[in-house]
Structure 1
Amino acid sequence: MTLHKASQILLLDGGLGTTLVDSYSCVFDERTPLWSSQLLLSSPSTLKDVQTAFARAGADILLTATYQASLEGFARCDVPKQEATRYMRSAVKIARAAFEGRSGRLALSLGAYGATMIPGQEYSGRYGDRVRAEWLREWHLQRVRLFYDGMETPVTERCWEEIDFLAFETLPLLSEVSAVREAMGAVAREVWGCEKEFWISCVFPGEGNVLPDGSSVEQVVRAMLGKKEGAASPSGVGINCTRLGKVEGLIMEFEKAVNRMVDASEVDQWPDLVIYPDATNGEVYNTTTMQWETGKNGSNSTLWDETLFDIVSRARDRESWRSIIVGGCCKSTPVHIAKLRNRIDGIVRT
């Protein structure tokens, strides 16, 4: 059996921050507001070691250590804008080096605005007066601009050409989905034909299949893919940082919503499906204490790769999505990713 072109599976890496905590004795608290990006300042070699472990596990795509990176975050660490920009751009080189000369793709990790707040608000969407799409559009655009290469940038320091995707992750608000698309529309106009593919993945905490702001999957998909003047269309849409037990139901709702839009000629083609759920076993992250706490709705994390692979296989067999990008978020390790790699390779060989 050969994989249908529309059902190609690409393997993403796993939970960088939680792997740093659980396997590399890193401590993240109020003194480290940049989370995993803090290692760009304190220990880039450790960061490279972790990303190399994910690459060796078989990841096709590595996310850069920039999820919570922002000028505001670096300012809290007394790092001025010019130095902060250099540190953020260095994350691209570190991730590229982690492939150790092997082919691989890089996704520039760009978390929600809420991920840069203290305490983090990407799971709640409580942004205060900054929930407006206009303000969020400018904030996301300014952050992306930090990775552009100017004519004066030495070849050895260029990073934009090293980036294959931009990953806008853990978005909790419908207004932020719209803001990201508008920001990427501006990017397409500014970089003169050197724009990048990007994906948008949202977080679905709690019990229902809704965003923290209450938006339904139908509303989310329409915000992601609906035609809008000046807004770019993502190459991929999906879910991250969400409990594994919710993923298949969410995918089915995504598929129904996209299918309705395709049938109505509201979108030209199916995008990629992007899914990287948590590998938690009932733990819940407390953004105030910055600690993992025992919660309910646990699942057997030892079966995480098997369960996720089965979900991906069923989505693949339906042959709707252009391709499927799958990996892990919080608590997923290089071991999880290696097991997923073996399962994916097995289906390709079948």
Structure 2
Amino acid sequence: MNPIEAILTKQKVLIIDGAFGTELERKGYDINDSLWSAKFLMEKPEAIGEVHKDYLEAGSDCVTTASYQASYEGFMKRGMSEAEAKALIQSSVKIAQKVRDTFWSETKNHDKREKPLVAASVGPYGAYLADGSEFRGNYGLSQEELMNFHRKRLATLIEAKPDLLACETIPCLIEAQALCKLLEAFPNMYAWVSFSAKDGTHINSGESVRECAQFLENQKQIVAIGINCTTPQYIESLIGEIKAVTTKPIIVYPNDGSTYNALTKTWDGLSKSSSYGKMAHTWYEKGAQVIGGCCQTTPEDIAQIAKWVRA
């Protein structure tokens, strides 16, 4: 049984965590960097652990590693050797595992919940470019070229033994296909794939989300299909589109409705909703079974979800 299914047989929703980079920023850390939150793997790993702990305490059943923007290319541009880059990428999984295991060692944290998972974040090629192209998906690369980019990092993360992979903010179908092809070399590893979308029916590349979900429905190692880093207003429609073509759990973790400005590396039009838990309940009613938050969401938002999930 895959790790997501194992939890969903015991509770109605698997709660994932919320924003990572913007949560570090909210704590006073500077993330304005081409490595984004991954720079803290080099500079201040304990800050990463703090965020994981906050989300576990808020009620997350899964924490996602700080590897979204971590790549061999990115670290080696900073003067790291290949071996050092590998160690940093794997440290993202080890930090999360250590925090999770410490949290779970206290029996009071076992109430109404299963042992939390660690999902290794696999960001898109556009995240490495650090120019916002993960919100456009217009890379102009072939499937083979995308596989070449992801291959080593994927193997490195899997070697660190996360519970599963979180292939997230994927803006185009060809990148999802490249990742699925690479996964075939690791038949015991599972992953979720979540796309970033520009409206209620299309992912950021302009391709139909239904077409993307249809492809993933037939991929044995993909254990949840969905949407992240997308404004909440489109989530209900997107769930409906995905639900029409898949029997797999639907995962949603939108941002708070802000728009990312790649030039200033800031979020425009902050539209924080105080009823994140209420919106999440609607997504559950529409068919989502794995729910969390993306950029600008907080442990408080996750706690709101946990309140009704564990009621």
Give TM-score, length-normalised by structure 1. 0.79
Alignment of 1:16-27 (within 5 A): 16-22=20-26, 24-27=27-30
Larger-Rg structure: 1
Aligned-pair identity in percent equals 29
Structure 2 contact 236–286 (Cα < 8 Å) conserved: no
Shift of the 84–245 alpha-carbon distance from structure 1 to 2, 3 Å rule, reads same
Partner of 1:333: 298
The gaps in structure 2 that reach 5 residues or longer are 1-6, 105-114
Task: Kindly state the Cα deviation for residue 7 of structure 1 after the two structures are TM-superposed.
Answer: 7.2
Select the structure with the greater relative contact order (CA < 8 A; seq sep ≥ 6): 1
Q: Give how far 1:101 is off.
A: 3.8
3-state SS of 2:157 partner: coil
Conserved 8 A contact 1:170-1:201: yes
8 Å contact from structure 2 (residues 239, 286) kept in 1? no
SS in 1 for 2:120: strand
Distance 2:81 2:71 in 1: 11
Q: What residue is the counterpart of 1:315 in the other structure?
A: 287
Match of 1:211 in 2: 203
Q: What SS is found at the alignment partner of 1:332?
A: coil
Per-residue CA deviation, residues 135-176 of structure 1 (Å, 9 max, x unaligned), is 112322221111354xxxxxxxxx22xx11111001111111
Gaps of 5+ in 1: 150-158, 189-194, 259-269, 317-323
The code of the aligned residue for 1:243 comes to T
Aligned mates of 2:68, 2:19 — CA distance in 1:
11
Paired residue for 2:255, among 267, 278, 287? 278
Task: Report if aligned partners of 1:224, 1:233 keep a CA contact under 8 Å in 2.
Answer: no
Alignment-derived partner of residue 136 in structure 1: 146
For 1:250, the aligned partner's letter is L
2: distance between equivalents of 1:54 and 1:307? 19
CA-CA distance at 1:184 after TM superposition: 0.6
Quote the offset at 1:243 in angstroms. Answer: 0.7
1:199 aligns with 2:192: yes
1:108 equivalent in alignment to 2:120: yes
Does the CA contact (< 8 Å) of 2:120 and 2:157 recur in 1? no
1:221 pairs, out of 202, 213, 231, with 213
User: What is the CA–CA distance in structure 1 between the aligned matches of 2:80 and 2:282, rounded to whole Å?
Assistant: 45
The number of residues matched between the two structures is: 294
What's the counterpart of residue 236 of structure 1? 224
CA RMSD of aligned residues (A): 2.0
2:276 aligns to what? 304
Q: In the superposition, relative to structure 1, how do residues 133 and 58 fare at CA in structure 2: closer, same or farther (>3 Å)?
A: same
| The 10-residue stretch of structure 1 (3-12 or 92-101) with the greater mean CA deviation from structure 2 | 3-12
1:66/1:110 contact within 8 Å kept: yes
Q: Deviations over 1:34-59 (max 9, x none)?
A: 11111011101111111111111111
* TM-fit CA distance, 1:345: 0.8
State which of 256, 262, 269 in structure 2 corresponds to 1:287. 262
Counterpart residue type for residue 273 of structure 1: I
Whichever residue aligns with residue 253 of structure 1, its letter is E
Is contact 1:177–1:223 with CA below 8 Å preserved after alignment?
no
CA distance in 1, matches of 2:79, 2:15: 37
For 1:93 and 1:284, locate their aligned partners in 2 and report how far apart those are by CA, in whole Å. 32
SS of equivalent residue, structure 1 residue 83: helix
Matched position secondary structure for 1:109: strand
